[in-house]
Amino acid sequence: MAQQRRAQRFNDLAEAVLGGTADDVRRMTADGTHPDDRDEINDPTPLMIAAARGQLDVVEVLVSAGADVNALAEDFTGELDQFPFLDDLFAESRLTAMTALAYAALYGQEQVFHYLAPRTAPSLRQEAEALRQAKAAHPDVVPRPYLEPKKPKSAREADRAKLLASSAAARKWVVQCPLCQKQGYKPGMPDEIDRRGTAAQIRKLFQPLILEACLCPQCCDKSAKAMQKIQAKLQAPQAVKARQQAEARWQKRLEEMRREGRREPD
Residue spans per domain, the chain? 2-145, 155-217
Angular region, 147: left φ>0, alpha ψ -120 to 50, beta rest? left
pLDDT at residue number 221: 86
Q: How far apart are CA 43 and CA 47, in angstroms?
A: 11
- Residues 186 and 119: their CA atoms lie apart, in Å, by 54
pLDDT digits 0-9 by tens, 89-129: 988 889 999 999 999 999 999 999 999 999 999 999 999 99
For residue 2, what pLDDT is reported? 42
Coil, helix or strand at residue 189: coil
The answer to whether 83 and 141 are in contact (CB under 8 A) is: yes
Q: Minimum mean pLDDT among 4-8, 111-115, 225-229: which range?
A: 4-8
Q: For residue 112, which of 36, 61, 53 has the smallest C-alpha distance?
A: 53
Long-range CB contacts for residues 206-211, cutoff 8 Å, separation at least 24: 206/160, 206/174, 208/184, 209/175, 209/177, 209/182, 209/183, 209/184, 209/185, 210/186, 211/175, 211/177
Per the model's pLDDT, the better-predicted residue between 157 and 230 turns out to be 157
pLDDT at 4 over 60: no
C-alpha of 134 from chain center: 17
CATH 1.25.40.20 for the 2-145 domain, yes or no? yes
Report yes or no: 4 and 36 within 8 Å, Cβ to Cβ: no
Higher-pLDDT residue of 198 and 220 is 198
Q: Which pLDDT does position 240 carry in this prediction?
A: 67
Backbone angles phi, psi at 87, to 5 degrees: -60, -45
Q: Are 209 and 183 in contact (CB under 8 A)?
A: yes
Residue 234: the pLDDT is 67
Task: Please say if the pLDDT value at position 9 is more than 80.
Answer: no
Mean pLDDT value across residues 255-259: 80
**Which one-letter amino acid corresponds to residue 39?**
D
- pLDDT of residue 8 exceeding 60, the answer is no
> Who has greater pLDDT, 61 or 93?
61
pLDDT at 265: 56
pTM for this predicted structure: 0.62
The reported pLDDT for the residue numbered 92 is 84
Of 173, 186, 179, nearest to 216 (Cα)?
179
Count the alpha carbons within 13 Å of 88 in the hemisphere toward its beta carbon.
15
Q: What is the pLDDT of residue 7?
A: 41
65 vs 2, residue with greater confidence:
65
pLDDT for 239 beyond 70: no
pLDDT at 1: 38
| Average pLDDT, integer, range 6-27 | 86
CB-based contact 125:99 (threshold 8 Å): no
Top-confidence range, 93-97, 172-176, 222-226, 240-244 = 172-176
pLDDT(198) > 90: yes
Give the helix, strand, coil percentages of the chain, each rounded to 5.
55, 5, 40
